[in-house]
Structure 1
Amino acid sequence: MKYRKLGKTGTAVSELALGTMYFGEETNETDAFAILDTFTDAGGSLIDTSNVYVNGKSEEVLGRWLAARPAEVTDRLVIATKGRFSASSDVNDSGLSRRHLQRSLEGSLKRLGLEQVDLYQLHASDMETPVEETLLFLNDAVQSGKINYIGLSNFTAWQLQLMISTAKEMGLYLPVSLQPQYSLLSREIEWEIVPAALYNGIGLLPWSPLAGGFLAGKYQRGGVPAADTRAGSNKALYQFVSGEYAESERNWATINLVNQIAQEMGVSSAQVSLRWLAERPGVIAPICGARTVNQLKDNLGMVNVTLSDVAMHMLDEVSKPVSGGYPYGEFGQWQRERWMQDGSPEPIPVVTAGSSHPLGNK
């Protein structure tokens, strides 16, 4: 396992992170423990969860595993969780207010069985709460020793910059990481979010790095997804995301190339996709939410994969993010490409696209 610094901090984390979103539901506790053991035995150190994953059960499962393992295992781990959302209908039990975040953090620490969490991330923005209020709470939490570092998740570029600029102006602790959706099939963050992160020294922890299994070679165009896959699940969220991926000609061309490169190299499609992402500017560690030990073992194989410059270039070109027009089309393309090559500080706008079509039969 290789390690990288967590943003501008002195803390190193494994170049592959373990996501625990399904612990306590799709992955039972016995299997979750086996996944955690496999990950840490391989040298993995960054484990990500959230207060709302399976209504807190994910944190509880992780907490019981931490309590059952020796200090020589747990002391080297970097535990990350999140606050922002809630399953409660209470009007104040959501958002980024001091009141809600304080309760969320205390709840997470209790479920995890910890006195301190290494990385506390805001799960999404909240434009109804002044950023000053949120930042002051986070600063107090760092000073009180309840969290080590501040992270963000699902923030747009301007929201990220607002948090950072405000924190600097107030002399408060700064965020060190951002957790965005990012993969070969989801590169739109390269228009604005990645440049903003690079400019500010923010490390990226991409979620859904395998695009719900599309980049792991699980699906064929026009085929019927298996019931035990996310695209084949009856959950509306999975069907929506899968539909977005399945509609794009570019995506299927990208998937075909990933599969071709993997076959030529004698490795898995997932390993090719993860290695490409791990080499993108600003990326610290893709977060893999493996549901089985075998899936995790395959993902862990990415640490031994090296993609040639030719393969990287081919993947870059086939999956290049597309935009309909100004200022994201040709006007902004040269800026995006320059940013991704050398991190030149030039502002680049953001664009997102997609629709909700079934897996597709074109």
Structure 2
Amino acid sequence: MQYTRLGRSGMRVSRLCLGTMNFGVDTEEREAHRILDAALDAGINFIDTANGYGGINSGLTEEIIGRWFRQGNGRRERTVLATKVYGRMNDPLDGPNAEAGLSAYKIRRHLEGSLRRLGTDHVELYQMHHIDRSVSWDEIWSALQLAQQQGKVGYLGSSNFAAWDLAVAQGEAKARGMVGLVSEQHKYNLLCRLPELEVLPACEALGIGLMVWAPLEAGLLGGNALRPDVGLRSVQQRERIERHRDQLMAFTKLCAEIGEKEDVIAMAWLLHQPAVTTPILGCRTLEQFERSLRALEVNLDAGIMARLDEIFPGPGGAAPKAYAW
């Protein structure tokens, strides 16, 4: 396993992060625990979850991880644990504060809920799952700083922030003498390269590590999108496949030439991006997880990277050079 620092923090995390959004929804608990064990055995020390994961049973995914920790054998001690706050938790006791957001009330209450479900007294990384521009940074940073001072949170991160949100957040944190954000979790892949305009340059400039969600674009880059024998798909899924059919066919052809699976190349491409700290593996099965590890061993030379750019052209670089003189 390869390791790197998470942004400008001193904490080292594995180059692959295990995502757990499927646990309790598409992946039953026993299989989820097998995947978690395999991740630790492979040297992955970074596990990402969220308080809202679990489908209609918000919090279920954290509970599954908590029961895995309770099996002992150093599972909790060996894990860099990340969770999130923002969304609804379907808790009637939240009353009028049930709506998604980042109020100090919600941060305190939902952090306590996450710690209880996870069976731990702290998380290494606590992430704002989305921006909430209706709440002042005075309120947000005060609540998160208190959580850090209490030892319940080690580092702070964001998810789905625009580049200017990252800049404002860091400026407000610096004014309070805080380290601020050490990570941003963002959607980025061969079919979604818009973040190269603003978000990636902002992360690099501000010392924020980029964690990538949807590295396979919900399966489109996984190799099965063009297979007619795959089960029923929604109308929206079929439309997306048709929209990108030529690109996906060219991608499959290139992967065949290289002798690697599509999902492996898509993940390896992300690992070759300087701004990326870690792609998040959204595995549903142990088999999928084990195949994902191959991405660490694949080296894409300049020629292959250029061909991938031809198939999946990005925005042309960072703003404003990508669109202005």
TM over 0.5: yes
Deviations 1:168-198 (A, max 9, x none): 1222231000001110011111111111111
Paired position in structure 1 for 2:179:
173
Paired letter, 2:6:
L
Tell me, yes or no, if the aligned pair for 1:210 and 1:274 is still in contact at 8 Å: yes
Deviations 1:295-316 (A, max 9, x none): 1111111111111211112112
Tell me, yes or no, if the aligned pair for 1:206 and 1:287 is still in contact at 8 Å: yes
3-state DSSP of counterpart to 1:189 = helix
CA gap 1:68/1:348 in 2 versus in 1, 3 angstroms: farther
Structure 2 residue 62 is matched with structure 1 residue 62:
no
Identify unmatched segments of 5+ residues in structure 2: none
Q: What is the rounded CA distance, in whole Å, between the counterparts of 1:173 and 1:132 in structure 2?
A: 15
Paired position in structure 2 for 1:302:
295
Paired position in structure 2 for 1:226:
231
Tell me, yes or no, if the aligned pair for 1:80 and 1:120 is still in contact at 8 Å: yes
Paired position in structure 2 for 1:81:
83
Q: What is the rounded CA distance, in whole Å, between the counterparts of 2:321 and 2:217 in structure 1?
A: 24
Paired position in structure 2 for 1:129:
135
Tell me, yes or no, if the aligned pair for 2:268 and 2:300 is still in contact at 8 Å: yes
Q: What is the rounded CA distance, in whole Å, between the counterparts of 2:88 and 2:229 in structure 1?
A: 34
Structure 2 residue 32 is matched with structure 1 residue 13:
no
Paired letter, 1:23:
F
Paired letter, 2:248:
I
Paired position in structure 1 for 2:252:
259
Deviations 1:38-77 (A, max 9, x none): 1111111111000000110000001100111311x43221
Deviations 1:189-245 (A, max 9, x none): 111111111110111101000111111111118x57524xxxx2x6xxxx65x4674
Paired letter, 1:279:
H
Paired letter, 1:128:
S
Q: What is the rounded CA distance, in whole Å, between the counterparts of 1:119 and 1:198 in structure 2?
A: 19
TM, length-normalised to structure 2: 0.91
TM, length-normalised to structure 1: 0.82
Tell me, yes or no, if the aligned pair for 1:192 and 1:348 is still in contact at 8 Å: no
Structure 2 residue 71 is matched with structure 1 residue 92:
no
Deviations 1:121-146 (A, max 9, x none): 00001111112210111111111110
Tell me, yes or no, if the aligned pair for 2:270 and 2:279 is still in contact at 8 Å: yes
- Structure number with the higher strand fraction is 2
- Deviation of the 1:252 alpha carbon: 3.4
Alignment of 1:1-362 (within 5 A): 1-54=1-54, 55-71=58-74, 73-88=75-90, 90-93=95-98, 94-220=100-226, 223=228, 225-227=230-232, 232=233, 240=236, 242=237, 245-246=240-241, 248=243, 251-322=244-315, 333=316, 336=317, 339=318
Tell me, yes or no, if the aligned pair for 1:183 and 1:277 is still in contact at 8 Å: yes
Q: What is the rounded CA distance, in whole Å, between the counterparts of 1:291 and 1:20 in structure 2?
A: 9
CA gap 1:197/1:16 in 2 versus in 1, 3 angstroms: same
- Deviation of the 1:37 alpha carbon: 1.1
Aligned-residue sequence identity (percent) comes to: 38
Paired letter, 2:286:
V
Q: What is the rounded CA distance, in whole Å, between the counterparts of 1:157 and 1:49 in structure 2?
A: 23
How large is the RMSD of aligned CA atoms in angstroms?
2.0
Tell me, yes or no, if the aligned pair for 1:49 and 1:80 is still in contact at 8 Å: yes
- Deviation of the 1:274 alpha carbon: 0.1
Matched pairs, number: 316
Paired letter, 2:294:
G
